[in-house]
């Protein structure tokens, strides 16, 4: 009975925390979104990743280093991509350590940068770039663009997702290159054959 109550609580929390779209795709997140690609994954895999994401958020909330605000996570098939900007190397290492403590994590890709944002203008520029890239993705790929997650840190655009269409990914990367302010594109998209 206790397990059923825990499962129901987890599902309700997941729905409230992530929201559901009509295509059985979960999206949402702490400081940025997590998108589960297309219909290429089973609902079990989606729920497992959502559970990992929630547990990472709990670990980050309990940190004294503001990890919940400063670090974003994207989870795909137990693979966790961390992005963000922290004050020092110790905080960066602590974030990775906390993620490895979460059950179900198979790999951690650490793209957390050390430094600080020079200004609110720089942060606004990153938000603007992410918005432009999402718009171009929607224009270029249509509804399939929801299968990708975008994050921009100091002009670097991180793309994560899962696709069965390598040509679609190339089209997305070429479109991203046209956005003013993009200094680098870092591709973490998994191409399933």
87/144 same-domain check: no
Residues 110 and 124 in one domain: no
Q: What is the pLDDT of residue 118?
A: 67
CATH number for 173: 3.30.300.130
Of 114, 149, 168, the domain-final residue: 114
**Same domain, yes or no: 126 and 50:** no
- Same domain flag for 185 and 162: yes
120: its two tokens = 């609110």
Q: Could you tell me if 17 and 101 lie in one domain?
A: yes
Q: Are residues 78 and 124 in the same domain?
A: no
Q: Are residues 166 and 180 in the same domain?
A: yes
Per-residue pLDDT of the chain (193 residues), as tens digits, is 555 455 444 445 544 444 433 333 333 333 444 444 445 667 888 889 999 999 999 999 999 888 998 899 999 889 999 998 898 889 999 999 999 999 999 999 999 988 876 677 888 899 999 999 999 999 988 888 887 889 998 899 999 988 888 998 999 999 999 999 999 999 998 888 7
CA-wise closest residue to 63 among 37, 36, 91: 91
Residue 174 · residue 144 · CB < 8 Å: no
Do 47 and 79 reside in the same domain of the chain?
A: yes
Q: Are residues 80 and 107 in the same domain?
A: yes
Number of domains in the chain: 2
Same domain, 19 and 54: yes
- The reply to whether 21 and 90 lie within a common domain is yes
Residue at which a domain ends, from 82, 114, 146: 114
At residue 7, the pLDDT reads 45
pLDDT for 35 equals 42
Measured CA to CA, the distance from residue 83 to residue 184 in angstroms comes to 14
CA separation for the pair 126, 189 (Å, rounded): 20
> Are residues 47 and 64 both part of a single domain?
yes
Residue 56 structure tokens: 């990472």
Domain of residue 131 covers 120-191
């Amino acid at each position: 009975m206790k397990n059923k109550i825990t499962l129901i609580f987890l599902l309700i929390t997941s729905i409230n925390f992530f929201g559901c779209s009509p295509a059985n795709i979960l999206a949402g997140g702490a400081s940025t979104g997590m998108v589960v690609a297309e219909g290429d994954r089973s609902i079990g895999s989606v729920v497992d990743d959502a559970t990992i994401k929630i547990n990472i958020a709990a670990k980050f909330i309990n940190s004294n280093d503001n990890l919940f605000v400063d670090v974003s996570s994207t989870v795909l098939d137990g693979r966790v991509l961390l992005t963000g900007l922290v004050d020092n190397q110790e905080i960066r290492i602590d974030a990775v350590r906390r993620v490895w403590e979460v059950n179900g994590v198979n790999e951690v890709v650490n793209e957390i940068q050390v430094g600080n944002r020079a200004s609110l203008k720089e942060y606004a520029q990153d938000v603007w770039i992410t918005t432009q890239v999402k718009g171009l993705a929607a224009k270029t790929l249509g509804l399939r663009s929801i299968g990708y997650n975008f994050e921009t840190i100091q002009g670097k655009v991180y793309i994560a997702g899962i696709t069965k269409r390598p040509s679609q990914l190339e089209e997305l990367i070429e479109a991203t290159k046209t956005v003013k302010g993009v200094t680098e594109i870092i591709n973490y998209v998994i191409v399933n054959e």
